[in-house]
Chain A
C-alpha cells in the first residue's frame, strides 16, 4: 500500500476543534499522522492542498438510493459519483425503497449493489417494521448481523404506540439504534406546506409546526419507557427544540439531525408553486431556521443530512399538492452548509462536527475525525470558490435540486475513501 502526503492544508478536525495549517499522511488506508509544522518526511504520492481545507469526509445519514425498485431515479453508481463529487465519503442509505429494505435478503442485495458500483462507503438503515407498515417488527437481529447500522421506517410514522414500544424494547436489547421521523401524522395528513400566511396566500394545505413537537414528545415518552437508542431524523421547528433539550438533559439516549434544506431555505422559497422546494417535512418559517442554526452551533442538533431524495421530472411537474416530496442533496450539501460558515453563524470545525463527526459518533464508526488510525476518508475543498449551480451538471440521475441557479460557494477539490482518491475536479 502506498503512502500519500497532503501538505499545505488547512486541517479541520471536528473532534478536537482544530482549524489550523498542517499536513496529513495516509498509510494503508488510514490516517497515519498529522502535523502542523516540522518536516513531514517523504511519501510516495504528494498532494499540495494549496492552503485549502482538509476535513473528514461527510457521513450523510439518510440518503435515498432508489435500488431496489426505482433505479431510473438513482442507482448506486450514480449516487456514488454524486457523493464523491460532493465530499460525501459514507452514504447511510434509507430503507424506503421498493420493496423496503426489511429482510436480510433485500439488505444483502442493496449492499452487494453498493459494493459493486459505489465509489464511496455505503452503510444501510433497515426498516423497523415489515414493509414500513407499522404492524410487525422486522428481524432486527438478523438484519443487524447482515450489516444494518440502524432501524427506521423513514417518514412512515408508526402510529401504533404499542408496536413501536415493542420494537424499541427489542431493539434496545440488541443495542440497535432507531431513527424516527418525529411527526404526528394525523395532524400533518394532506399537508403540502407549513401553515401560516404563505400557505393561506397560496391556498395550500398546511401543517402546524406543532405536529413535529407532538411526534417528538410521544417518542421521548417511549424512549423513557423502553430505554431505546434514538435518533430523530430531522428536527426542523423551533417548537421541538426545548423538548429535545429536556430529553437530553434528562439523560435519555437521544440525538437529533436536521436537513440542509431546513437550515438554508424557508417556506417563502416555494414562491409560485416551485415543486423542487417541496420536501418532507415542509420548509419552515425563517424564525425556525434561525433557531435551528443556533441549536446546531450549540450542539443540540447533532447531525446535518442532505436527506437526498431523487425524484424524476414527472413526479415533480405536477400541481404542488400532487407533486412528490424530496430533493437531491449529495452534491449541494457542502456548499449549502458553507453558507452558514460564510455568514459567520458557525465555525468549520462545528460544521464538520455535524456533517462528519456527529454521525460517526452516533453510529459508532471510527471515521469522522482526523485522528491517527482513523480511516482516511477525507474531503479537500476550497470554501470560498464561487459558482452558479446548474442542475443539469449534477451527477445524480435525478436533477430535483432547489438550488438550481443559486449562487453558491465551496468547491470540492478532492475526495478520498480509505486512502483512495475517488474524486478530483
Chain B
C-alpha cells in the first residue's frame, strides 16, 4: 500500500501513488455501497468525530455515512454552537477531544491552516474536510474518481476549472491533484476571482469561457462563494452568468464527449444553467455525490490501517 500518511490534511503532500491507492480502494467501496449489504467492518471499534466549525450539510452527511458504513461509532459536533462560542481556543478544544480517545477526527474550519494546527495537538488521524481557502482533499479525490470512472483514465486530459478560483479550496486541491496526475489544467474566470500568482502553479489562465473550454474533456464549475466575498468582485450575478455561467452555448466549445462537474451546492442561473446541470448526457454532478461517500470510506479505511499499524509498532517497542 502506498498511502502511508498519518493524516489527510491536503493533496499538496500526497505522492501520485498514494492518490492512486486511495482511488483504487474507493472503487471497491463504490461496489459495496451499491450492494444490498452496505456494511464493512474496516472501522469497527473505532470512534469518529465530525467537528464542523463551518456549516455543512452535504460533506458532513457524506462523512457520517462513510463512517457508519464501515462500522465506526460516529459523533457529530456542531462546533458553532459549542464552547468555541464561550471563548475556548481551537487547541484547547482539540486537547479536550483528544482526551476522549477518538481515532478519526474529521474537521472543517473557516480558517486556512486551522486543521494543520489541530493535527499537531492530537494523537489520532485527522481528515481535513475543508479549511478556509486552503484545501479540501476529499473533494479533489472524489472529483478524480468521477473523472477516472467516466474517462477511463486520470492523465493526459484537458480539464477546465471555472469560476470563483480565488475563494475556492476545491480549486486549490484539484489544481494540485490533477497536476500531479499529469493533466493539462486550465483556470477560467474573471481576473478579480483569480488569485495572484496562480499561473505559477503550472496551469493556464483564461478570462474567456469560449477560449478556456476549447476542446476540454472535463468542465468543472465552482460555486460563486458569495459568503466569502468582502467586496465587489463582480458587477452583478446576471453579468456573471452572461459571461461565465455554463450554458449550452459555452459548453459547445468543449470536446463533444465532455463531462460537466460541480462540487455543489449549485447556484442555478449564476454559475451554471439548470438545464446543463440536469442533463444526464453531460452532467455527472449526482455521481460526484455518490463517489464522495466511497472516497471518504477509502480515506478513513486507509488512515485507520495506518493508525493501527502505528499503534501496534508503538506497543511492540
Contact = CB atoms under 8 A, between A and B. Distances in A.
Are A and B associated in one complex?
A: yes
Interface of A: 190, 195-204, 206, 208, 272-273, 314, 317-322
Interface of B: 12, 89-91, 109, 111-114, 116-117, 131-135, 169, 172, 195-198, 200-201, 230
Nearest to A206: B196
B113 A272 contact: yes
A273 B196 CA distance: 19
Nearest to A200: B195
Contact of A319 (B12, B112, B198): B112
A102 B102 CA distance: 52
Given A197-B201, A208-B196, A314-B89, A202 B134 contact: yes
16 contacts: A190-B230, A195-B196, A198-B197, A199-B196, A200-B195, A200-B196, A202-B113, A203-B133, A203-B172, A204-B112, A204-B133, A272-B116, A273-B113, A317-B89, A319-B117, A320-B111
A197 B113 contact: no
A322 B111 contact: yes
B117 A273 contact: yes
Contact of A201 (B12, B111, B132): B12
Nearest to B176: A201
A313 to B, nearest CB: 10
A196 B172 CA distance: 14
Nearest to A198: B197
Contacts of A273: 112-113, 116-117
Nearest to B113: A273
Nearest to A208: B196
A200 B172 contact: yes
Given A204-B112, A321-B113, 5 more contacts: A199-B195, A201-B201, A203-B135, A204-B133, A204-B134
Contacts of A208: 196
A197 B131 contact: no
Contact of B169 (A203, A272, A318, A319): A203
Q: Which 3 A-B pairs have the closest CB atoms?
A: A203-B134, A203-B133, A273-B113
A321 B196 contact: no
Nearest to B165: A200
Contact of B114 (A199, A200, A319): A319
B200 A320 contact: no
A242 to B, nearest CB: 21
A321 B112 CA distance: 8
Contacts of A198: 197
B263 to A, nearest CB: 16
Nearest to B110: A319
Q: Which of B132, B169, B197, B201 has the most CB of A within 10 A?
A: B197
A198 B111 CA distance: 16
A184 to B, nearest CB: 15
Contacts of A322: 111
Contacts of A321: 111-113, 132
A201 B165 CA distance: 12
Contact of A317 (B12, B91, B112, B172): B91
A318 B201 CA distance: 28
A200 B197 contact: yes
A202 B197 contact: no
Nearest to A190: B230
A319 B109 contact: yes
Contact of B113 (A195, A314, A320): A320
Contact of B197 (A197, A203, A319): A197
Nearest to A270: B113
B137 to A, nearest CB: 13
A266 to B, nearest CB: 14
Contacts of A199: 195-197
Q: Which of A196, A208, A319, A320 has the most CB of B within 10 A?
A: A319
Contacts of A318: 89-90, 117
Contacts of B12: 201
A91 B70 CA distance: 62
A314 B92 CA distance: 11
A197 B198 CA distance: 6
Contacts of A190: 230
A200 B135 contact: no
Nearest to B201: A197
B24 to A, nearest CB: 27
Given A196-B196, A197-B200, A319-B117, A203 B90 contact: no
A152 B131 CA distance: 38
Given A204-B113, A272-B113, A195 B90 contact: no
Nearest to A314: B89
A322 B172 CA distance: 21
Nearest to A207: B196
Nearest to B12: A201
Contacts of B198: 197, 200
B13 to A, nearest CB: 9
A201 B173 CA distance: 9
Nearest to B9: A272
Contacts of B131: 203
Contacts of B195: 195, 199-200, 206
A200 B169 contact: no
Nearest to B91: A317
A201 B109 CA distance: 17
A359 to B, nearest CB: 35
Given A200-B201, A201-B201, A203-B132, A319 B113 contact: yes
